[in-house]
Amino acid sequence: MPAGNIEKLKYAIKYGADAVYLGIIDFSLRAMRKGELITLDNLKAAIDTARSMGAKSYLTLNIFAFNYDIQLLEQSMDKIVESNPDALIISDPGIMRLAKKYMPNTDIHVSTQANILNYEAVRFWQDMGATRAILARELPIADVAEIKRKVPDMELEVFIHGAQCVSFSGRCLLSDYMTDGERKANSGNCSQPCRWSYKLVEETRPGQYYEIEENEKGTHILSTKDLCLVKHLKELINAGVDSFKVEGRTKSLYYVSATAKAYREAINEVIKNPDADMQPYYNELLKVGNRGYTTGFYLGEYPKDGYSYDISKGLAGADFLCEIWDKNDDWYKIKTKNKFNKNEDIEIISPSEKFITQVTEIKNMKGEELELANTNDELWVKFTREPVEYNYALARTVGIKGETSENKTCSCSG
């Protein structure tokens, strides 16, 4: 699971991840801006925290490096070595060479940015000393299985959930071009121009803009739907995949927690019963932010309905209502994310639970009784049913918006 900051790292592990991937701003493809950010100064503490919780940590050094990046990385290697990650995720051969020089005993995972599409490429990286290949998202499951047959002693990792780039394996220059080089996608600062809504202008008529009529749904002509492979875990396991990866270091704490919980439980279920119905887990994933779901290239050709023409921002089927921070007798201290009312039914999820309860009382920090919990307030509340594992519990609205998932399901339903 992604660990965009230290708080998300803890929640990802508590909700079921056995490994997290994390990055520091200069060498990672995601530049985080919120929460307790992971830096060179607290990198060791973050990795130690994950290890103490029973999970591995993979450090992303997967930028394509210019000379100044290499120089900066060499200056940073002492702290990276001291942090002792379980593996390094790398795409650039120059960075890999530095990693082998300074950390010869640390596993190397080759990033999806390296566009690994065939077994000879896997063998190449294995010869270079890599222990795992994170395959390109353009591969069908049949090709993944063939790679595993040809190179059985190499670990294979695939993305199974999250946002996709319109470019090949995320190697995109649109952001660089559209921001005059200020927001470089492959240096961790993508402005996501594939999510923008575009209009057409004819060069002899400046200032006159026209809709690009791709179809009646709008002009988000580059925006792909999000990947969701929860219904195809059995096929991926049978293909020999060693590790499942979820995109989302810039996603919310709720996204990380709920997605980890859904996939952890789904994986456990399909291992126990390969023919188990995965629809309940798919329904759970509808409750987190998404642009509609697709299976991408994994079932063969990219589906025609794999683009999200009508929306660019991920919309969740359930609203994230609050984090539960503390307990005093039968009162729970919360941080609200979206407003809710006294006597409203809500759904609480924790690493070990999921149930519907009701908010019976609300009061502010001064002890004043309230009828409404407003967004971003810190409050005390009571529930008709209380969570056992309250210090990692979250609350959301009940059910899926619109009652049906027809507006969001697509090729993942097969």
Predicted confidence (pLDDT) per residue in 288-319, tens digit: 988 889 998 899 877 767 666 666 566 889 99
Would 274 be classed as within a structural domain?
Answer: yes
- The answer to whether the beta carbons of residues 111 and 91 sit under 8 Å apart is yes
Question: How many C-beta atoms surround the C-beta of residue 61 within 10 A?
Answer: 27
pLDDT at 407: 41
Same domain flag for 167 and 96: yes
Q: What percent of the chain has pLDDT over 70?
A: 84
Q: Which domain CATH number covers 376?
A: 2.40.30.10
122-135 mean pLDDT: 97
Query: Nearest-5° angle of CA 164, CA 165, CA 169?
Result: 95
Same domain flag for 261 and 366: no
Residues 1-14: pLDDT tens digits? 999 999 999 999 99
pLDDT at 412: 36
Same domain flag for 281 and 343: no
Residues 205-224: pLDDT tens digits? 787 776 666 555 555 666 77
Same domain flag for 16 and 139: yes
Structural domain including 190 reads: 178-211
Residues 241-285: pLDDT tens digits? 999 999 988 889 999 999 999 999 999 999 999 999 999 999 999
Helix (H) or strand (E) holding 46: helix 43-52
Mean of all residue pLDDT scores within the chain: 88
pLDDT of 169 > 70? The answer is: no
Q: Taking the chain, what is the end-to-end CA distance rounded to the nearest angstrom?
A: 25
Same domain flag for 133 and 242: yes
